[in-house]
Homo-oligomer: A and B are copies of this chain.
Protein backbone atom coordinates (compact mmCIF):
# COMPACT_ATOMS: atom_id res chain seq x y z
CA UNK A 1 0.00 0.00 0.00
CA UNK A 2 1.28 3.46 -0.92
CA UNK A 3 0.20 6.38 1.20
CA UNK A 4 1.27 9.79 -0.07
CA UNK A 5 -0.10 12.94 1.48
CA UNK A 6 -3.88 12.78 1.15
CA UNK A 7 -4.29 9.83 -1.20
CA UNK A 8 -3.78 6.10 -0.90
CA UNK A 9 -3.02 3.39 -3.46
CA UNK A 10 -3.10 -0.36 -2.90
CA UNK A 11 -0.63 -1.20 -5.66
CA UNK A 12 2.30 0.65 -7.24
CA UNK A 13 0.62 0.06 -10.60
CA UNK A 14 -2.48 2.09 -9.62
CA UNK A 15 -2.95 5.20 -11.76
CA UNK A 16 -5.70 6.58 -9.52
CA UNK A 17 -5.45 7.39 -5.83
CA UNK A 18 -8.23 7.39 -3.25
CA UNK A 19 -8.71 10.56 -1.21
CA UNK A 20 -8.38 9.83 2.52
CA UNK A 21 -8.99 13.29 4.00
CA UNK A 22 -12.44 13.29 5.65
CA UNK A 23 -13.24 16.74 4.27
CA UNK A 24 -12.12 15.84 0.74
CA UNK A 25 -9.56 17.71 -1.33
CA UNK A 26 -10.10 21.23 -2.64
CA UNK A 27 -8.97 22.25 -6.11
CA UNK A 28 -5.26 23.07 -6.36
CA UNK A 29 -3.87 20.54 -3.86
CA UNK A 30 -0.75 18.66 -4.93
CA UNK A 31 -1.40 14.98 -4.20
CA UNK A 32 1.70 13.56 -5.86
CA UNK A 33 4.69 15.29 -7.37
CA UNK A 34 3.35 17.28 -10.30
CA UNK A 35 -0.26 16.10 -9.84
CA UNK A 36 -2.53 18.91 -8.66
CA UNK A 37 -6.29 18.51 -8.16
CA UNK A 38 -8.28 20.28 -10.89
CA UNK A 39 -11.53 20.25 -8.87
CA UNK A 40 -12.93 19.31 -5.46
CA UNK A 41 -12.75 15.55 -4.83
CA UNK A 42 -14.62 14.02 -1.88
CA UNK A 43 -13.34 11.51 0.65
CA UNK A 44 -13.17 8.01 -0.78
CA UNK A 45 -13.25 9.26 -4.36
CA UNK A 46 -10.57 8.74 -6.97
CA UNK A 47 -8.11 11.29 -8.31
CA UNK A 48 -6.36 10.76 -11.68
CA UNK A 49 -2.62 10.37 -11.07
CA UNK A 50 -1.87 10.69 -14.80
CA UNK A 51 -3.60 12.05 -17.87
CA UNK A 52 -5.95 9.45 -19.37
CA UNK A 53 -6.61 9.40 -23.11
CA UNK A 54 -9.97 8.06 -24.22
CA UNK A 55 -9.99 4.28 -23.69
CA UNK A 56 -7.02 4.19 -21.29
CA UNK A 57 -7.33 1.64 -18.50
CA UNK A 58 -8.07 2.97 -15.03
CA UNK A 59 -6.05 0.82 -12.63
CA UNK A 60 -6.82 0.25 -8.95
CA UNK A 61 -5.75 -2.72 -6.78
CA UNK A 62 -3.31 -3.35 -9.68
CA UNK A 63 -6.26 -4.29 -11.92
CA UNK A 64 -8.23 -2.54 -14.63
CA UNK A 65 -11.48 -1.33 -13.09
CA UNK A 66 -12.72 0.75 -16.04
CA UNK A 67 -11.68 2.73 -19.12
CA UNK A 68 -11.65 6.48 -19.64
CA UNK A 69 -14.72 7.57 -21.57
CA UNK A 70 -12.82 10.64 -22.87
CA UNK A 71 -9.71 12.55 -21.95
CA UNK A 72 -9.32 12.85 -18.14
CA UNK A 73 -6.59 15.29 -17.06
CA UNK A 74 -4.20 14.40 -14.24
CA UNK A 75 -5.64 15.69 -10.96
CA UNK A 76 -9.27 15.30 -12.09
CA UNK A 77 -12.01 13.32 -10.38
CA UNK A 78 -12.39 9.80 -11.83
CA UNK A 79 -15.92 8.47 -11.38
CA UNK A 80 -18.71 6.41 -12.96
CA UNK A 81 -19.58 9.18 -15.41
CA UNK A 82 -16.21 9.66 -17.07
CA UNK A 83 -15.37 5.92 -17.25
CA UNK A 84 -16.96 2.85 -18.84
CA UNK A 85 -17.65 -0.60 -17.36
CA UNK A 86 -15.51 -3.43 -18.81
CA UNK A 87 -17.08 -6.66 -20.05
CA UNK A 88 -17.27 -9.35 -17.34
CA UNK A 89 -14.52 -11.98 -17.55
CA UNK A 90 -15.73 -14.86 -19.72
CA UNK A 91 -16.41 -18.06 -17.78
CA UNK A 92 -16.07 -20.34 -20.80
CA UNK A 93 -12.48 -19.52 -21.59
CA UNK A 94 -11.36 -19.26 -17.98
CA UNK A 95 -8.52 -21.71 -17.27
CA UNK A 96 -7.51 -23.15 -13.91
CA UNK A 97 -3.92 -22.02 -13.43
CA UNK A 98 -3.37 -22.38 -9.70
CA UNK A 99 -1.20 -19.90 -7.86
CA UNK A 100 1.69 -21.47 -6.05
CA UNK A 101 0.60 -21.71 -2.42
CA UNK A 102 3.30 -20.55 -0.08
CA UNK A 103 3.31 -22.86 2.90
CA UNK A 104 1.94 -21.18 6.00
CA UNK A 105 2.77 -21.99 9.55
CA UNK A 106 -0.07 -23.38 11.65
CA UNK A 107 -1.15 -21.06 14.42
CA UNK A 108 -1.31 -22.95 17.69
CA UNK A 109 -2.38 -22.14 21.21
CA UNK A 110 -5.62 -20.25 20.58
CA UNK A 111 -8.95 -21.45 21.94
CA UNK A 112 -12.34 -20.03 22.79
CA UNK A 113 -15.10 -20.97 25.24
CA UNK A 114 -17.97 -22.51 23.29
CA UNK A 115 -21.01 -24.74 23.74
CA UNK A 116 -20.22 -28.16 22.29
CA UNK A 117 -23.24 -29.82 20.65
CA UNK A 118 -24.09 -33.50 20.31
CA UNK A 119 -23.43 -33.31 16.54
CA UNK A 120 -19.90 -32.00 17.13
CA UNK A 121 -20.63 -28.41 16.13
CA UNK A 122 -19.94 -25.62 18.64
CA UNK A 123 -22.21 -22.77 19.64
CA UNK A 124 -21.13 -19.25 20.55
CA UNK A 125 -24.55 -18.19 21.85
CA UNK A 126 -27.33 -20.17 23.49
CA UNK A 127 -30.57 -19.42 21.70
CA UNK A 128 -33.99 -21.07 21.53
CA UNK A 129 -34.89 -21.20 17.84
CA UNK A 130 -38.55 -21.50 16.88
CA UNK A 131 -38.65 -22.38 13.22
CA UNK A 132 -41.76 -22.33 11.09
CA UNK A 133 -42.88 -24.34 8.10
CA UNK A 134 -45.12 -21.64 6.66
CA UNK A 135 -45.76 -17.91 6.68
CA UNK A 136 -49.27 -18.47 8.11
CA UNK A 137 -47.88 -19.02 11.60
CA UNK A 138 -45.67 -15.90 11.70
CA UNK A 139 -48.23 -13.82 13.58
CA UNK A 140 -48.46 -16.53 16.22
CA UNK A 141 -44.71 -17.08 16.59
CA UNK A 142 -44.16 -13.31 16.96
CA UNK A 143 -46.76 -13.33 19.71
CA UNK A 144 -45.07 -16.30 21.39
CA UNK A 145 -41.55 -14.90 21.24
CA UNK A 146 -42.79 -11.79 22.98
CA UNK A 147 -44.52 -13.90 25.65
CA UNK A 148 -41.49 -16.12 26.19
CA UNK A 149 -39.29 -13.06 26.61
CA UNK A 150 -41.64 -11.57 29.17
CA UNK A 151 -42.67 -14.66 31.09
CA UNK A 152 -40.18 -17.48 30.66
CA UNK A 153 -36.65 -16.35 29.85
CA UNK A 154 -35.80 -14.99 33.29
CA UNK A 155 -36.12 -18.54 34.65
CA UNK A 156 -33.37 -19.76 32.32
CA UNK A 157 -30.41 -17.44 32.94
CA UNK A 158 -28.01 -19.40 30.72
CA UNK A 159 -30.20 -18.87 27.67
CA UNK A 160 -29.33 -15.75 25.64
CA UNK A 161 -32.64 -15.33 23.89
CA UNK A 162 -35.38 -16.72 21.70
CA UNK A 163 -35.92 -16.14 18.00
CA UNK A 164 -38.70 -17.01 15.56
CA UNK A 165 -37.36 -18.07 12.18
CA UNK A 166 -40.25 -16.52 10.27
CA UNK A 167 -40.24 -16.40 6.49
CA UNK A 168 -42.55 -15.98 3.52
CA UNK A 169 -42.16 -19.54 2.28
CA UNK A 170 -43.96 -22.83 2.86
CA UNK A 171 -47.32 -22.40 1.11
CA UNK A 172 -48.65 -20.23 -1.69
CA UNK A 173 -45.36 -21.04 -3.40
CA UNK A 174 -44.46 -23.36 -6.26
CA UNK A 175 -42.91 -26.01 -4.10
CA UNK A 176 -42.34 -28.27 -7.13
CA UNK A 177 -40.33 -25.61 -9.01
CA UNK A 178 -36.69 -26.59 -9.60
CA UNK A 179 -35.55 -23.50 -7.66
CA UNK A 180 -37.55 -24.55 -4.56
CA UNK A 181 -34.60 -26.61 -3.42
CA UNK A 182 -32.86 -23.40 -2.27
CA UNK A 183 -35.35 -22.09 0.31
CA UNK A 184 -36.19 -25.58 1.53
CA UNK A 185 -32.63 -26.63 2.28
CA UNK A 186 -31.96 -23.18 3.75
CA UNK A 187 -34.75 -23.63 6.30
CA UNK A 188 -33.59 -27.13 7.14
CA UNK A 189 -29.97 -26.07 7.65
CA UNK A 190 -30.91 -22.89 9.53
CA UNK A 191 -32.61 -25.07 12.13
CA UNK A 192 -29.29 -26.85 12.60
CA UNK A 193 -27.24 -23.74 13.29
CA UNK A 194 -24.88 -24.60 16.17
CA UNK A 195 -26.23 -21.79 18.37
CA UNK A 196 -29.62 -23.52 18.63
CA UNK A 197 -27.93 -26.49 20.30
CA UNK A 198 -30.09 -29.07 18.52
CA UNK A 199 -33.15 -27.80 20.41
CA UNK A 200 -35.04 -26.05 17.60
CA UNK A 201 -38.80 -26.48 17.69
CA UNK A 202 -40.98 -26.14 14.60
CA UNK A 203 -44.39 -24.49 14.55
CA UNK A 204 -46.47 -25.51 11.55
CA UNK A 205 -50.04 -24.79 10.56
CA UNK A 206 -51.17 -28.22 9.41
CA UNK A 207 -52.33 -27.78 5.83
CA UNK A 208 -49.19 -26.25 4.31
CA UNK A 209 -47.15 -27.57 1.41
CA UNK A 210 -43.79 -27.60 3.18
CA UNK A 211 -43.87 -30.36 5.77
CA UNK A 212 -42.32 -29.42 9.14
CA UNK A 213 -40.86 -32.91 9.53
CA UNK A 214 -38.61 -32.17 6.55
CA UNK A 215 -36.99 -29.33 8.49
CA UNK A 216 -35.54 -31.54 11.21
CA UNK A 217 -32.43 -33.60 10.59
CA UNK A 218 -32.80 -37.35 10.20
CA UNK A 219 -31.43 -38.25 13.59
CA UNK A 220 -33.95 -36.19 15.56
CA UNK A 221 -36.38 -38.96 16.36
CA UNK A 222 -37.90 -36.81 19.09
CA UNK A 223 -39.94 -34.88 16.52
CA UNK A 224 -43.00 -35.38 18.73
CA UNK A 225 -41.41 -33.09 21.28
CA UNK A 226 -40.34 -30.55 18.72
CA UNK A 227 -43.12 -30.14 16.14
CA UNK A 228 -46.47 -28.58 16.80
CA UNK A 229 -49.34 -27.79 14.42
CA UNK A 230 -51.68 -24.88 15.12
CA UNK A 231 -54.51 -26.81 13.46
CA UNK A 232 -54.05 -29.71 15.86
CA UNK A 233 -57.49 -30.67 17.18
CA UNK A 234 -56.25 -30.83 20.76
CA UNK A 235 -55.91 -27.03 20.84
CA UNK A 236 -58.96 -25.08 21.97
CA UNK A 237 -58.57 -21.76 20.22
CA UNK A 238 -55.63 -19.44 20.14
CA UNK A 239 -55.36 -19.70 23.91
CA UNK A 240 -54.85 -23.44 23.58
CA UNK A 241 -52.18 -23.08 20.91
CA UNK A 242 -50.28 -20.53 22.95
CA UNK A 243 -50.37 -22.80 25.98
CA UNK A 244 -49.14 -25.73 23.92
CA UNK A 245 -46.25 -23.80 22.44
CA UNK A 246 -45.24 -22.31 25.80
CA UNK A 247 -45.13 -25.78 27.31
CA UNK A 248 -42.96 -27.10 24.49
CA UNK A 249 -40.72 -24.05 24.71
CA UNK A 250 -40.22 -24.53 28.45
CA UNK A 251 -39.01 -28.09 27.88
CA UNK A 252 -36.47 -26.92 25.31
CA UNK A 253 -35.37 -23.97 27.44
CA UNK A 254 -34.73 -26.39 30.29
CA UNK A 255 -32.30 -28.36 28.12
CA UNK A 256 -30.65 -25.26 26.68
CA UNK A 257 -30.19 -23.85 30.16
CA UNK A 258 -28.04 -26.86 31.05
CA UNK A 259 -25.53 -26.11 28.26
CA UNK A 260 -22.08 -25.14 29.53
CA UNK A 261 -19.21 -23.39 27.79
CA UNK A 262 -15.95 -25.34 27.52
CA UNK A 263 -12.57 -24.61 25.91
CA UNK A 264 -12.72 -25.32 22.17
CA UNK A 265 -10.04 -25.12 19.50
CA UNK A 266 -10.30 -22.43 16.81
CA UNK A 267 -11.05 -25.25 14.37
CA UNK A 268 -14.60 -25.18 15.79
CA UNK A 269 -15.14 -21.61 14.59
CA UNK A 270 -17.12 -20.92 11.43
CA UNK A 271 -16.66 -17.21 10.73
CA UNK A 272 -18.92 -15.63 8.10
CA UNK A 273 -17.58 -12.50 6.39
CA UNK A 274 -19.79 -9.99 4.70
CA UNK A 275 -19.66 -6.34 3.72
CA UNK A 276 -22.63 -4.01 3.44
CA UNK A 277 -22.94 -0.32 2.64
CA UNK A 278 -19.39 -0.38 1.23
CA UNK A 279 -17.34 2.65 0.31
CA UNK A 280 -13.97 3.15 -1.38
CA UNK A 281 -12.21 2.51 1.93
CA UNK A 282 -13.73 -0.94 2.35
CA UNK A 283 -11.16 -2.39 -0.02
CA UNK A 284 -8.28 -0.49 1.60
CA UNK A 285 -8.96 -0.93 5.30
CA UNK A 286 -11.84 -3.11 6.55
CA UNK A 287 -11.76 -5.85 3.95
CA UNK A 288 -7.99 -6.41 3.88
CA UNK A 289 -7.95 -6.45 7.70
CA UNK A 290 -10.77 -8.99 7.69
CA UNK A 291 -8.79 -10.94 5.08
CA UNK A 292 -5.75 -10.96 7.35
CA UNK A 293 -7.87 -12.15 10.30
CA UNK A 294 -9.41 -14.77 8.01
CA UNK A 295 -5.95 -16.15 7.21
CA UNK A 296 -5.19 -16.30 10.94
CA UNK A 297 -8.40 -18.22 11.69
CA UNK A 298 -7.55 -20.64 8.89
CA UNK A 299 -3.96 -21.07 10.07
CA UNK A 300 -5.46 -21.94 13.47
CA UNK A 301 -7.58 -24.65 11.83
CA UNK A 302 -10.88 -22.77 11.61
CA UNK A 303 -13.42 -22.23 8.85
CA UNK A 304 -14.14 -18.94 7.08
CA UNK A 305 -17.04 -18.19 4.73
CA UNK A 306 -17.08 -15.42 2.15
CA UNK A 307 -19.94 -14.81 -0.26
CA UNK A 308 -21.79 -12.36 -2.50
CA UNK A 309 -21.60 -13.69 -6.07
CA UNK A 310 -22.14 -10.39 -7.90
CA UNK A 311 -19.48 -8.76 -5.75
CA UNK A 312 -16.79 -11.25 -6.71
CA UNK A 313 -17.94 -12.02 -10.26
CA UNK A 314 -15.48 -9.58 -11.83
CA UNK A 315 -12.64 -10.97 -9.74
CA UNK A 316 -13.35 -14.54 -10.79
CA UNK A 317 -9.91 -15.02 -12.35
CA UNK A 318 -8.27 -14.31 -8.97
CA UNK A 319 -10.63 -16.68 -7.19
CA UNK A 320 -10.26 -19.52 -9.66
CA UNK A 321 -6.49 -19.33 -9.43
CA UNK A 322 -6.80 -19.68 -5.64
CA UNK A 323 -9.00 -22.79 -5.84
CA UNK A 324 -7.50 -25.72 -3.91
CA UNK A 325 -8.10 -28.03 -6.86
CA UNK A 326 -9.78 -28.27 -10.23
CA UNK A 327 -13.14 -29.37 -8.79
CA UNK A 328 -13.31 -26.24 -6.66
CA UNK A 329 -12.37 -24.13 -9.69
CA UNK A 330 -15.18 -25.72 -11.69
CA UNK A 331 -17.65 -25.24 -8.84
CA UNK A 332 -16.75 -21.54 -8.66
CA UNK A 333 -17.40 -21.15 -12.37
CA UNK A 334 -20.65 -23.12 -12.08
CA UNK A 335 -22.03 -20.86 -9.35
CA UNK A 336 -21.05 -17.71 -11.29
CA UNK A 337 -22.72 -19.14 -14.40
CA UNK A 338 -25.86 -20.00 -12.45
CA UNK A 339 -26.06 -16.44 -11.20
CA UNK A 340 -25.35 -14.92 -14.62
CA UNK A 341 -28.30 -16.93 -15.98
CA UNK A 342 -30.51 -16.08 -13.02
CA UNK A 343 -29.92 -12.35 -13.47
CA UNK A 344 -30.36 -12.63 -17.20
CA UNK A 345 -33.76 -14.35 -16.71
CA UNK A 346 -34.79 -11.24 -14.79
CA UNK A 347 -33.48 -9.15 -17.70
CA UNK A 348 -30.62 -7.55 -15.77
CA UNK A 349 -26.91 -8.21 -15.23
CA UNK A 350 -24.22 -7.75 -12.56
CA UNK A 351 -24.21 -4.00 -13.09
CA UNK A 352 -27.44 -3.95 -11.07
CA UNK A 353 -25.17 -4.21 -8.06
CA UNK A 354 -23.58 -0.98 -6.75
CA UNK A 355 -26.03 1.28 -5.02
CA UNK A 356 -26.26 5.06 -5.07
CA UNK A 357 -24.50 4.93 -1.71
CA UNK A 358 -21.61 2.90 -3.11
CA UNK A 359 -21.16 5.53 -5.81
CA UNK A 360 -21.48 8.40 -3.34
CA UNK A 361 -18.83 6.61 -1.30
CA UNK A 362 -16.46 6.52 -4.26
CA UNK A 363 -17.11 3.05 -5.71
CA UNK A 364 -17.69 3.80 -9.39
CA UNK A 365 -18.76 0.36 -10.56
CA UNK A 366 -19.09 -3.32 -9.74
CA UNK A 367 -15.54 -4.16 -10.88
CA UNK A 368 -14.04 -1.72 -8.38
CA UNK A 369 -16.45 -3.00 -5.72
CA UNK A 370 -15.58 -6.64 -6.50
CA UNK A 371 -11.83 -6.11 -6.25
CA UNK A 372 -12.33 -4.47 -2.87
CA UNK A 373 -14.82 -7.10 -1.73
CA UNK A 374 -12.54 -10.03 -2.52
CA UNK A 375 -9.88 -8.55 -0.27
CA UNK A 376 -11.78 -9.90 2.74
CA UNK A 377 -11.06 -13.48 1.65
CA UNK A 378 -7.38 -13.04 2.49
CA UNK A 379 -4.74 -15.14 0.77
CA UNK A 380 -5.73 -18.69 1.76
CA UNK A 381 -6.64 -21.29 -0.83
CA UNK A 382 -10.36 -21.80 -1.46
CA UNK A 383 -11.13 -25.27 -0.15
CA UNK A 384 -14.78 -25.63 -1.19
CA UNK A 385 -17.77 -23.95 -2.79
CA UNK A 386 -21.10 -24.12 -0.93
CA UNK A 387 -24.29 -23.68 -3.03
CA UNK A 388 -26.86 -21.33 -1.43
CA UNK A 389 -28.68 -22.95 1.50
CA UNK A 390 -26.20 -25.81 1.90
CA UNK A 391 -24.03 -26.52 4.94
CA UNK A 392 -20.29 -26.05 4.89
CA UNK A 393 -18.35 -29.34 4.55
CA UNK A 394 -14.71 -28.39 4.78
CA UNK A 395 -12.41 -26.49 7.11
CA UNK A 396 -10.49 -23.53 5.74
CA UNK A 397 -11.75 -20.91 3.32
CA UNK A 398 -15.14 -21.55 1.68
CA UNK A 399 -16.99 -19.59 -0.93
CA UNK A 400 -20.71 -19.66 -0.05
CA UNK A 401 -22.52 -18.66 -3.25
CA UNK A 402 -25.13 -16.16 -2.03
CA UNK A 403 -26.72 -12.98 -3.33
CA UNK A 404 -25.03 -9.80 -2.12
CA UNK A 405 -28.21 -8.59 -0.42
CA UNK A 406 -27.01 -8.31 3.20
CA UNK A 407 -29.94 -10.01 4.88
CA UNK A 408 -30.13 -12.83 2.39
CA UNK A 409 -26.37 -13.39 2.57
CA UNK A 410 -26.44 -13.40 6.38
CA UNK A 411 -29.31 -15.89 6.39
CA UNK A 412 -27.49 -18.22 4.00
CA UNK A 413 -24.26 -18.02 6.00
CA UNK A 414 -26.29 -18.94 9.12
CA UNK A 415 -27.66 -21.92 7.20
CA UNK A 416 -24.10 -22.85 6.21
CA UNK A 417 -23.29 -23.16 9.91
CA UNK A 418 -21.69 -19.79 10.74
CA UNK A 419 -21.19 -19.16 14.47
CA UNK A 420 -19.56 -15.69 14.33
CA UNK A 421 -20.38 -13.01 11.79
CA UNK A 422 -18.04 -10.19 10.74
CA UNK A 423 -19.79 -7.33 8.92
CA UNK A 424 -17.63 -4.63 7.32
CA UNK A 425 -19.35 -1.34 6.53
CA UNK A 426 -18.30 2.03 5.16
CA UNK A 427 -21.48 4.03 4.68
CA UNK A 428 -22.99 2.39 7.78
CA UNK A 429 -25.60 -0.34 8.26
CA UNK A 430 -27.08 -0.95 11.74
CA UNK A 431 -26.89 -4.71 11.32
CA UNK A 432 -27.46 -7.33 14.02
CA UNK A 433 -28.49 -10.98 14.32
CA UNK A 434 -30.14 -12.65 17.25
CA UNK A 435 -28.77 -16.00 16.14
CA UNK A 436 -25.03 -15.26 16.23
CA UNK A 437 -22.84 -12.39 17.43
CA UNK A 438 -22.11 -9.86 14.68
CA UNK A 439 -18.86 -7.88 14.85
CA UNK A 440 -19.30 -4.64 12.94
CA UNK A 441 -16.09 -3.26 11.46
CA UNK A 442 -16.01 0.27 10.05
CA UNK A 443 -13.87 1.00 7.00
CA UNK A 444 -13.37 4.65 8.00
CA UNK A 445 -12.95 6.45 11.30
CA UNK A 446 -15.58 9.08 10.54
CA UNK A 447 -18.25 6.43 10.71
CA UNK A 448 -16.70 4.81 13.79
CA UNK A 449 -16.76 8.15 15.62
CA UNK A 450 -20.35 8.93 14.67
CA UNK A 451 -21.69 5.41 15.26
CA UNK A 452 -19.79 4.90 18.49
CA UNK A 453 -22.47 2.63 19.97
CA UNK A 454 -22.83 0.53 16.78
CA UNK A 455 -19.28 -0.13 15.53
CA UNK A 456 -17.22 -2.81 17.26
CA UNK A 457 -13.88 -2.22 15.56
CA UNK A 458 -12.52 0.69 13.51
CA UNK A 459 -10.29 -0.25 10.58
CA UNK A 460 -10.16 3.39 9.47
CA UNK A 461 -6.67 4.19 10.87
CA UNK A 462 -5.15 1.94 8.20
CA UNK A 463 -5.95 4.57 5.55
CA UNK A 464 -3.68 7.08 7.24
CA UNK A 465 -0.84 4.71 8.02
CA UNK A 466 -1.67 4.98 11.72
CA UNK A 467 -2.17 1.24 11.96
CA UNK A 468 -1.19 -1.57 9.64
CA UNK A 469 -3.52 -4.12 8.08
CA UNK A 470 -1.73 -6.74 10.15
CA UNK A 471 -2.34 -4.87 13.41
CA UNK A 472 -6.06 -4.44 12.81
CA UNK A 473 -6.23 -8.04 11.51
CA UNK A 474 -4.80 -9.32 14.79
CA UNK A 475 -7.20 -7.10 16.76
CA UNK A 476 -10.09 -8.59 14.84
CA UNK A 477 -8.79 -12.12 15.37
CA UNK A 478 -8.67 -11.61 19.14
CA UNK A 479 -12.06 -9.91 19.12
CA UNK A 480 -13.56 -12.89 17.28
CA UNK A 481 -12.27 -15.23 20.00
CA UNK A 482 -13.54 -13.00 22.81
CA UNK A 483 -16.95 -12.60 21.22
CA UNK A 484 -17.23 -16.32 20.45
CA UNK A 485 -16.42 -17.00 24.11
CA UNK A 486 -19.16 -14.69 25.32
CA UNK A 487 -16.61 -12.65 27.27
CA UNK A 488 -17.16 -9.60 25.05
CA UNK A 489 -20.58 -8.45 23.90
CA UNK A 490 -20.99 -6.97 20.43
CA UNK A 491 -22.75 -3.62 19.95
CA UNK A 492 -25.94 -5.10 18.49
CA UNK A 493 -26.29 -7.49 21.45
CA UNK A 494 -25.82 -4.63 23.89
CA UNK A 495 -28.50 -2.61 22.11
CA UNK A 496 -30.86 -5.51 21.37
CA UNK A 497 -30.82 -4.57 17.69
CA UNK A 498 -31.71 -7.47 15.43
CA UNK A 499 -32.70 -7.92 11.78
CA UNK A 500 -35.21 -10.39 10.51
CA UNK A 501 -33.84 -13.18 8.35
CA UNK A 502 -34.64 -13.13 4.63
CA UNK A 503 -34.92 -16.35 2.62
CA UNK A 504 -33.47 -16.64 -0.88
CA UNK A 505 -36.25 -17.88 -3.13
CA UNK A 506 -34.64 -17.44 -6.54
CA UNK A 507 -36.15 -14.69 -8.60
CA UNK A 508 -33.78 -11.81 -9.33
CA UNK A 509 -31.92 -10.27 -6.43
CA UNK A 510 -28.44 -8.87 -6.72
> Is A249 in contact with chain B by the CB < 8 A criterion?
no
Q: Which of A383-437 contact B (CB under 8 A)?
A: 403-408, 427-432
Knowing A177-B352, A238-B497 are in contact, say whether A430-B172 is a contact too (CB < 8 A): no
**Roughly how many angstroms separate A136 CA and B404 CA in the complex, as a whole number?**
13
Knowing A166-B500, A406-B172, A408-B168 are in contact, say whether A136-B430 is a contact too (CB < 8 A): yes
Asked if residues B140 and A497 are in contact (CB atoms below 8 Å), the reply is: yes
Asked if residues B206 and A408 are in contact (CB atoms below 8 Å), the reply is: no
> Is A453 in contact with chain B by the CB < 8 A criterion?
yes
Asked if residues A142 and B175 are in contact (CB atoms below 8 Å), the reply is: no
The listed residue (B277, B495, B499) touching A238 by CB distance below 8 A is: B495
> Is A270 in contact with chain B by the CB < 8 A criterion?
no
Residues of B within 8 A of A206 (CB): 357, 427-428
For this chain, the copies found in one complex come to 2
Knowing A208-B355, A276-B136, A497-B139 are in contact, say whether A430-B174 is a contact too (CB < 8 A): no
**Roughly how many angstroms separate A57 CA and B136 CA in the complex, as a whole number?**
35
* Nearest B-chain residue to A277, judged by Cβ: B207
> Is A265 in contact with chain B by the CB < 8 A criterion?
no
The listed residue (B172, B209, B237, B508) touching A174 by CB distance below 8 A is: B508
Residues of B within 8 A of A166 (CB): 500
Q: Which of A60-103 contact B (CB under 8 A)?
A: none
Residues of B within 8 A of A175 (CB): 352
**Roughly how many angstroms separate A450 CA and B234 CA in the complex, as a whole number?**
9
Residues of B within 8 A of A403 (CB): 172
**Roughly how many angstroms separate A453 CA and B236 CA in the complex, as a whole number?**
9
Asked if residues B429 and A205 are in contact (CB atoms below 8 Å), the reply is: yes
Q: Which of A367-397 contact B (CB under 8 A)?
A: none
Asked if residues A432 and B174 are in contact (CB atoms below 8 Å), the reply is: no
Kindly supply a per-residue 1/0 record for chain A positions 484-506, scoring 1 wherever the CB is within 8 Å of any chain B CB and 0 otherwise.
Answer: 00000001100111111010011
Which of the 9-residue segments A114-122, A293-301, A339-347, A464-472 touches chain B?
A339-347
The listed residue (B173, B231, B406, B498) touching A509 by CB distance below 8 A is: B173
**Roughly how many angstroms separate A357 CA and B205 CA in the complex, as a whole number?**
10
Knowing A135-B502, A427-B231 are in contact, say whether A347-B178 is a contact too (CB < 8 A): yes
Asked if residues B428 and A357 are in contact (CB atoms below 8 Å), the reply is: no
Asked if residues A451 and B356 are in contact (CB atoms below 8 Å), the reply is: no
Residues of B within 8 A of A453 (CB): 237-239
* Nearest B-chain residue to A234, judged by Cβ: B450
> Is A230 in contact with chain B by the CB < 8 A criterion?
yes
Q: Which of A129-186 contact B (CB under 8 A)?
A: 135-140, 142-143, 166, 168, 171-179
Knowing A277-B136, A507-B508 are in contact, say whether A408-B451 is a contact too (CB < 8 A): no
> Is A358 in contact with chain B by the CB < 8 A criterion?
yes
**Given A172-B405, A208-B357; 11 other pairs, CB 8 A cutoff:** A139-B431, A143-B496, A143-B497, A168-B405, A174-B508, A176-B348, A179-B508, A206-B427, A231-B277, A236-B452, A500-B500
- 11 residue pairs A–B, Cβ–Cβ below 8 Å: A136-B276, A136-B429, A138-B407, A139-B431, A140-B430, A172-B408, A174-B346, A175-B352, A179-B508, A206-B427, A208-B355
